[in-house]
Structure 1
Amino acid sequence: MSARVLLRTLSFLLLLAVLVWLFLRRPEDLVQLSDRLSDLPGSTWLMVFLLGLLSYVLRLLRWQVLLRVLGHRIPVTQQLPIYMAGFGLAMTPGKVGETIRTAYLAPLGVPYGDSLAAFVAERLVDLLVVGLLACLALPLVASHPIWVLSAWGFVLSAFLVARSRLLPAMAARMGTGKLGQTADEGTRALQRLLSGRPLFLGCLLGSLAWSVQASALLVVLSHLEHPVPVLSGLGSYALALLAGAASFIPGGLGVTEAAMLWLLERQGVDLLTAATAALVSRGVPLWTGVFTGLLALAALGVRSTQSDRPTQP
C-alpha cells in the first residue's frame, strides 16, 4: 500500500472513529448535530459560501501577482481554470497535488522552475500568515509567553531559510542536467518572490484571504447565538488549520475539525454548537474548492483532448 493511500485511509478512519464514538457514547448528540445543521438558515450557508469564494479570489489574485513578478502575464480567463484545478488535488499531504498547475502552465511559456517557485512561495506565505493568526489563539493552549514567542520564531525562521544561500547550494548539488537547471531557476525565482514588494503583496493578500475564510467561523457562531471574541475566533480557526497540516493527513480531515472543536470548547462553547460551527465553516470552503477543482480538471482535460485532435484536411 502506497503512503498516499495509507494517509487517505487513515483520514477517513479517523472521521469514522469520531462518528462511532458519538454514536456509542453520545448518540443523542449525533442526532442533535444533524438537526443543528439542518436548522441553520440558508443565509448562513450562503454567507459562508461567499466568504470562501472571496478567499479563493484573493488567492487567485496573489497567484497572478507572483507570476507577473516573474514576467509571466497570463489572462485571467486562462489562469482561472488552471489555478482552481490545483484544488481538485488539494487532498494530498502538504497540498503537493496543487503542483499539477505546472503541467498546464508550461505550454503557456511558464518554466517549471518558475511555477514551482510560485507554489513554494504560496505555501511559505500561507505558513507565515496562518501561523501569525494562530498566535492569537495560543493563550488558550499555552499559559507561558515563551510558547507564543517560540511559535513566532519557528514561522519566521522558515522565511530566513528560504531567503538564505542554503537553497541555491542544494540546487547546485543536483548537477547540470535538466533537473539541476530547473532547481537552479526555481531557487532564484523563489528568492525574488520572497523579497521586497512581492513578499509584502503576498502577505497582504494572504492575510486577507485567510482572515476572510476564518471569519466564516465567527458568522456561524453568531447565527447560533454563541459568539466568541473576534481575535480568538480567527486564531482558533488558524491554529486548527496548522494542527491539520501538521498531521500530514490529506486535507487535515478530522484533525482540523477536532482541534477547532476543542479550542471552541475552551472558550465556553458547548459541544453541539462547536461541532456545527467547525463542520460548516471548515467544510463549505474546503469542498467548494475540491469540487470546483475537479470540474476545472475535467474542463482542462477536454480542452487538451480537443487541441490534440488532428485537423481535417
Structure 2
Amino acid sequence: MKRALIVTAVLTVLAFAFVGIWVDINQIKSHLKDFPWALLPLIMVFGFCNDLIKFIRWQIYLKRLGISIPSWKSLNIFISGLSMSATPGKIGFLIKSQMLKNVSGKPFLATTSVIGAELYTDLIALSVISLAGLRFLESGKVIMLLLCVIPLAGLFPIVPRTAVTLFEHIPRVSHRASDLKKVIEDMFILFGPGTLLLALGVTLLAWTSEGVALHLIIQGMGFELGIVDATILFGLSTLIGVLSMLPGGLVVTDASLMGLLIRSSIPATPAALGAIMARLCTLWLSVIIGSLFLIVNRSFVYAQEREAKA
C-alpha cells in the first residue's frame, strides 16, 4: 500500500509538471486572479455529484444480489471506497468488498462482483461517451473506435468464458479460475437487460455531472464550452487514462484533457489550468472525502480482525 501511495504521489507531481510545461506562469496568475472563485463550491458539488449519483447504481447492484444493509452504512462504505480512486485499475475498490463482508456477513467473493460490475459499467459508459468524441481527434480515430467498441464484447457470455479458460491454463493464477468464474456469473446477474440499462443511465448522468464541472471551470476563465462537449471531452480523456492502467490515469488523462481542450479552441494556458482544476475538483476531491470517511469508518474494515482477537 505504501509503495502504491508513493507511485501515485510521484505520478501526480509528474502530471502537474507535464501540464505546467505548456503554460505561461504570468497568464496563469492572471487567469487565477480573474477567476470567479464564488463558482468553486458549485464546481466541487458537481464534481462530487458524479460519485453520489453512482451510489444509486451501487444500491441497485446490492439489491439485485440480495445484499441488505442499512442505507447509511452502505453510503459510508461507498464513499470510504473513493479513497482508493487513484489506485491502478481502481483495484483498491475491493476494500468495499471487505467492508461489506464485515457489515453484512456475506463472503468477500460474493460482493466482489458488485465492484467488477461498477467498473465495467463505467467502462461501457465512457466508451459510449467517447464514441461521440472521436471528432475531436486529429488522428488514431480507427484505433480509438476499436478501443470504444471492444469493452462491449464483454457482454457476450463467450468472451468472459474464454477468459476463465485462459486463466485455467496459466500456472500462477489457475487456482483462482473458479473464483473468477463465480464473480463473472454474479456479474451477469447484474447485467440483465433492465438492470444494465438502468445502471448505464445512472452512470451516464453521473459522468454528465463532471462535464458540468468542467463547463463551469472553462466558463469561469472566459471561454465557451457546452455541457455536452465538456462531458464528451472529460469522458474521452478519462477513458484514455483508464486504458493506460496508470493510477487514476495520472499524466495520461491530464495531458489528454488539456490536448482536447486545445482542440476545442481553448488557448494552451487556460486549457492546462482547466485540466488541473477539473481533476482537483473530481478525482482528488473524491480521494480526500473518501479518505476522511475511511478514517471515520475504519471499524468496518477491521471489525472481523478485532472479533477474531477477542
Task: State the partner residue of 1:220.
Answer: 217
Task: State the partner residue of 1:206.
Answer: 203
Q: 1:158 aligns with which of 154, 158, 172?
A: 154
Shift in CA distance, 45/192, structure 1 to aligned 2, threshold 3 Å: same
Matched letter for residue 98 of structure 1 = F
When normalised by structure 1's length, the TM-score is 0.84
Measure the CA separation in 2 of the matches of 1:290 and 1:11: 15
Q: 1:292 aligns with which of 289, 292, 298?
A: 289
Task: State the partner residue of 1:59.
Answer: 54
Asked if 2 retains the 8 angstrom alpha-carbon contact of 1:136 and 1:232, the reply is no
In the comparison of the two structures, how many residue pairs are matched?
303
Shift in CA distance, 85/163, structure 1 to aligned 2, threshold 3 Å: farther
Q: Which has the higher contact order (CA 8 A, sep 6+)?
A: 2
* 1:17-96 → structure 2 map (5 Å cutoff): 17-18=17-18, 21=21, 29-96=24-91
Asked if 1 retains the 8 angstrom alpha-carbon contact of 2:88 and 2:245, the reply is yes
Task: State the partner residue of 1:251.
Answer: 248
Asked if 2 retains the 8 angstrom alpha-carbon contact of 1:48 and 1:285, the reply is no
Matched letter for residue 159 of structure 1 = L
Q: 2:124 aligns with which of 109, 124, 128?
A: 128
Deviation at 1:253, TM superposition (A): 2.1
Asked if 2 retains the 8 angstrom alpha-carbon contact of 1:136 and 1:231, the reply is no
Measure the CA separation in 1 of the matches of 2:29 and 2:65: 48
Deviation at 1:105, TM superposition (A): 0.7
Residue by residue over 1:183-218, the C-alpha shift from the partner in whole angstroms, topping out at 9 and shown as x without a partner, is 343222111112222211110111110111122111
Measure the CA separation in 1 of the matches of 2:86 and 2:95: 13
Asked if 1 retains the 8 angstrom alpha-carbon contact of 2:109 and 2:183, the reply is yes
Q: 1:281 aligns with which of 278, 283, 291?
A: 278
SS at match of 1:91: coil
SS at match of 1:71: coil
When normalised by structure 2's length, the TM-score is 0.84
Shift in CA distance, 185/147, structure 1 to aligned 2, threshold 3 Å: closer
Asked if 1 retains the 8 angstrom alpha-carbon contact of 2:153 and 2:159, the reply is no
Deviation at 1:8, TM superposition (A): 3.0
Asked if 1 retains the 8 angstrom alpha-carbon contact of 2:83 and 2:288, the reply is yes
Measure the CA separation in 2 of the matches of 1:188 and 1:199: 15
Asked if 2 retains the 8 angstrom alpha-carbon contact of 1:257 and 1:278, the reply is yes
Q: Over alpha carbons, which structure has the higher Rg?
A: 1
Deviation at 1:148, TM superposition (A): 6.4
Structure 2 unpaired stretches of 5+: none
More off after superposition, 114-123 vs 179-188: 179-188
Deviation at 1:91, TM superposition (A): 1.6
SS at match of 1:165: helix
Residue by residue over 1:25-63, the C-alpha shift from the partner in whole angstroms, topping out at 9 and shown as x without a partner, is x6xx12432442354223321111111232111111101
Residue by residue over 1:103-126, the C-alpha shift from the partner in whole angstroms, topping out at 9 and shown as x without a partner, is 111121232223211111111111
Measure the CA separation in 1 of the matches of 2:140 and 2:257: 21
Task: State the partner residue of 2:133.
Answer: 137
Measure the CA separation in 1 of the matches of 2:183 and 2:301: 26
